[in-house]
Amino acid sequence: MNNILDFTLLELKAWFKNQNESEYRAKQVFDFIYRNVWDFDDMNNIPITIRKKLNEAFYIGIPKVVEIYESSDKNTTKYLLMFNDGNVIETVTMKYTYGYSICLSTQVGCRMGCKFCASTVNGMVKNLTSGEILAEILAVEKIIGTRISNVVLMGSGEPLDNFNNVIKFINIVNADYSLNIGQRHITLSTCGIVPKIKEIADMKMQITLAISLHAANDELRKNIMPISNKYSIKELIDICKYYTEKTNRRITFEYSLIKEINDREENAIELSNLLKGTLCHVNLIPVNKVTDNTFEKSTKESIIIFSNILNKFGIQNTVRREMGTDINAACGQLRRKYIELKGDNRGE
Ligand code: SAH
């Protein structure tokens, strides 16, 4: 059985053709699904014989909502979702004045091994398919009763380590038969898999690219992000420049501030020198302490000093509001807690 959410309109049309049925049925079925009708038998303008075929060939892979946590200010909500294979993932919504933004997981777990991140502690279980990523949005939209306007691929997992499924997801979520979310409303965050960044640059996508940098020299970055053993900071910055040349898009650099590791004045100066001349914005994020890791959040004072140094060098930056720390909203923290309680890597 296939998850119908993994299909593009073209693919579903081909399936109908194969069944000797009219191709326009594909659009009818998707119209139902994207209006939250998730049972083929409720699709009243589809003949019963076709519904039967659909039921035999497909399932509609919407995950079950296992738990919902709301932050005290009610602006951040975290959903623990379970797919029918028993895998549990996290999805977070953030309410802004312009609407809802959703932070999606792209893998169950992660294999990148960043030292400060909870998602990677138990390794990677599997890549999510394009339909599973999409279903995170559908499941949440049904609960909140409104459309999501912005998508960030910044939940558990490394999107560029699941390249084909993530690109397919972006193309589907972007399509007018689906959720019609514009590429400029989609942000993809990566720890920096250089050849894959080149591929998206060459596709001339209009998404926003966010790079998790967290250190401005290789020695320090290697200590906290194993991916640095593969690609140097120079290679990373060069490919970012290439990305901007190809797409005219400004790049976001994420920099999590870790007390006395990467938050000193000299680190800020080094970062400024590194980013001088790139079209970019820096997000400074006080690191979220993950249980049993040793990293501590920078002090408020050192964050202000760090930000001011960047300003002095003309590097645009914002200190990101910490949304949802009271509900463990940082990457992978909730799933991890859930797994610890249930004692199984899948979380079932
Ligand atoms: N793998 C992708 C996307 C997932 S991580 C990436 O690396 O970008 C999303 C963001 O959260 C990254 O910038 C990551 O570095 C950051 N992050 C992960 N754990 C964190 C923590 N404990 N505190 C602060 N930021 C964290």
Domain map of the chain by residue range? 2-59, 64-342
Residue nearest ligand 1's atom 10 by CA:
154
Residue-wise pLDDT tens digits, 10-53: 999 999 999 999 999 999 999 999 999 999 999 999 999 999 99
Ligand 1 atom closest to Cα of 161? Answer: 1
Pocket of ligand 1, beta carbon within 6 A: 112, 114, 116-117, 154, 158, 189-191, 212, 254, 256, 285, 287-288, 290, 330-331
Beta partners for residue 153, in sequence order:
188
* Candidates 1.10.3720.10, 3.30.40.10, 1.10.10.10, 1.10.150.530; CATH matching 2-59: 1.10.150.530
Q: What is the mean pLDDT of residues 275-303?
A: 88
**Quick one: pLDDT band at residue 291, thresholds 50, 70, 90?**
low
> Model confidence at 348, in pLDDT bands (50, 70, 90)?
very low
Q: What is the pLDDT of residue 176?
A: 97
Helix (H, G, I), strand (E, B) or coil at 305: helix
Q: Do 199 and 207 meet the contact criterion of CB atoms below 8 Å apart?
A: no
Q: Which range has the worst mean pLDDT, 82-91, 152-161, 211-220, 286-295?
A: 286-295
Q: What is the reported pLDDT for 346?
A: 47
Q: Is the per-residue pLDDT at 165 higher than 50?
A: yes
Atom nearest to 156 CA in ligand 1: 4
pLDDT band for position 288 (cuts 50, 70, 90): confident
Mean pLDDT, the chain, rounded, equals 93
- Percentage of the chain beyond pLDDT 90 is 84
Fold of 64-342: TIM Barrel (3.20.20)
Q: Hey, which of 254, 255, 288 would you mutate to test ligand 1's pocket, going by the most ligand atoms within 8 Å of its Cβ? A: 254
| Confidence label for 289 from pLDDT (cuts 50, 70 and 90) | confident
Predicted local distance difference test score (pLDDT) of residue 227: 98
Query: How far apart are the CA of 234 and the centre of ligand 1, in A?
Result: 21
Q: Which of 309, 334, 316, 320 is nearest to 287 (CA)?
A: 320
Running DSSP on this structure, what letter comes out for residue 175? Answer: S
Matching fold, domains 2-59 and 64-342: no
Catalytic residues: 90, 331
Residue closest via CA to ligand 1's atom 6 equals: 190
Judged against a pLDDT cut of 50, whether residue 347 lies above it is answered with: no
User: At 325, is the pLDDT very low, low, confident or very high (cuts 50, 70, 90)?
Assistant: low
As beta bridge partners, residue 99 has 96
Tokens of 86: 């028993």
Nearest CA to ligand 1 atom 19: 117
Concatenate the DSSP letters of all residues of 106-161 into one string.
-EEE-SS--TT-STTTT-EEEEPPHHHHHHHHHHHHHHHTS---EEEE-SSS-GGG
At residue 28, the 3 state secondary structure works out as helix
Structure confidence at residue 168 (pLDDT): 98
**pLDDT recorded at residue 74:** 86
* pLDDT at residue 32 in the model: 98
Q: What is the best residue among 107, 117, 258, 282 to mutate for testing ligand 1's pocket, by most ligand atoms within 8 Å of CB?
A: 117
Helices marked H in 145-211: 163-174, 194-202
Question: Residue 214 CA: which ligand 1 atom is closest?
Answer: 15
pLDDT of residue 233: 98
How much is the average pLDDT of 179-189? 97
Over residues 259-266, mean pLDDT: 97
Whole-model pTM? 0.94
Strands 186-190 and 150-153, how do they pair? parallel
pLDDT average, residue stretch 184-194: 97
Q: How far is CA 340 from CA 71, 118, 122, 345, in A?
A: 22, 12, 10, 8
What whole-number percentage of the chain has pLDDT above 70? 91
Q: How far apart are CA 106 and CA 323, in angstroms?
A: 21
Pocket test of ligand 1: the residue of 259, 331, 335, 337 to mutate, having most ligand atoms within 8 Å of its CB, is 331
Distance 305 CA to ligand 1 centre (A): 22
